[in-house]
Amino acid sequence: MVKLLRRCAQCQTYTLSNVCSKCGSETTYPHPPKFSLDDKYATYRLVERYKKSEQEKPT
């Protein structure tokens, strides 16, 4: 769902529409969705792996 979120370049309004409901300008994706998603998942994966290795450590 996040990748459907677009932003108006004119008034910075976030919308799901191709056209801004406020000023009628064409909306664009605020940042490259693929890059940001990959980055997010990579971070989560690292955190999960870190937690796991912490749990598996003998105390």
Question: Quick one: how far is CA 59 from the chain centroid?
Answer: 37
Q: Does 47 bind Zn ion (CB under 5 A)?
A: no
- In angstroms, give the least distance from the CB of 42 to Zn ion: 33
Q: Does 11 bind Zn ion (CB under 5 A)?
A: yes
User: Which region among 18-26, 29-37, 39-47, 48-56 touches Zn ion (by CB under 5 A)?
Assistant: 18-26
Burial class (CB in 10 A: 0-12, 13-18, 19+), 20: buried
- In angstroms, give the least distance from the CB of 36 to Zn ion: 22
What DSSP element (H or E) covers 32? none
